[in-house]
Chain A
């Protein structure tokens, strides 16, 4: 069983809408979670990280973590065409030696 799972998409949203990206994980010994954005042919870049239960906001982005339900999500408000990319969820798990484990990514398409 994969430790981090994401729906591969594509997830299509109209410009200006809220995009909701979700990630579930299987290891209860979780420590921290990260959301990366990856444009085609480029390397991933960090958008946000979250360690504690609840919400964390940074500009148009909000990360949500629920350790009891074992999911983490990323909300993108006022979606722009430039947000079109693949979003990778990653977690660091105690059971995995705290190394980063990535999901397969969700492709987001923001349509005009």
Chain B
């Protein structure tokens, strides 16, 4: 069953805590992206990776970190430096440049 799996679906974070969002794909796509979406807003790019062991900052990378040790996996860590992390986080993959992106089901992160 091919696709993109994000976990968990819902995540609660305490103040000052780091949390990691998982994104796994078995589509054999080279590029992977993390986006943040706030209520009523569009998608803002956090980080993206076009090849294993390489990744680039997006528009709102502060307070986030990523790794790309395997083609299939692109985890996102929300650090305590991110002061307003409550949002809907979407992972996407892309087979090659200039083609469509496919999205996971998202993780809804809430600070408690």
Contact = CB atoms under 8 A, between A and B. Distances in A.
Contacts of A51: 98
B104 A100 contact: no
A31 B98 contact: yes
Given A31-B98, A46-B100, A49-B100, A100 B105 contact: no
Q: Which of B40, B43, B97, B99 has the most CB of A within 10 A?
A: B43
Interface residues of B, number: 25
A43 B94 contact: no
B103 A99 contact: no
B97 A92 contact: yes
Interface centre among A6, A100, A103 (most CB of B within 10 A): A100
A34 interface: yes
A103 B97 contact: no
B56 A43 contact: no
A4 to B, nearest CB: 9
Given A43-B90, A43-B103, A43-B104, A102 B98 contact: no
A101 B45 contact: yes
Contacts of A46: 100-102
A99 B48 contact: yes
A99 B33 contact: yes
B23 to A, nearest CB: 12
Nearest to A31: B98
B53 interface: no
Nearest to A104: B42
B5 to A, nearest CB: 12
Given A43-B103, A103-B42, A98 B56 contact: no
Interface string B56-71: 1000000000000000
Given A43-B105, A44-B103, A46-B100, A102 B35 contact: yes
B42 A102 contact: yes
A45 interface: yes
Interface in A75-102: 88, 90, 92, 97-102
Interface of B: 31, 33, 35, 40-43, 45, 48, 50, 56, 88, 90, 92, 94, 97-106
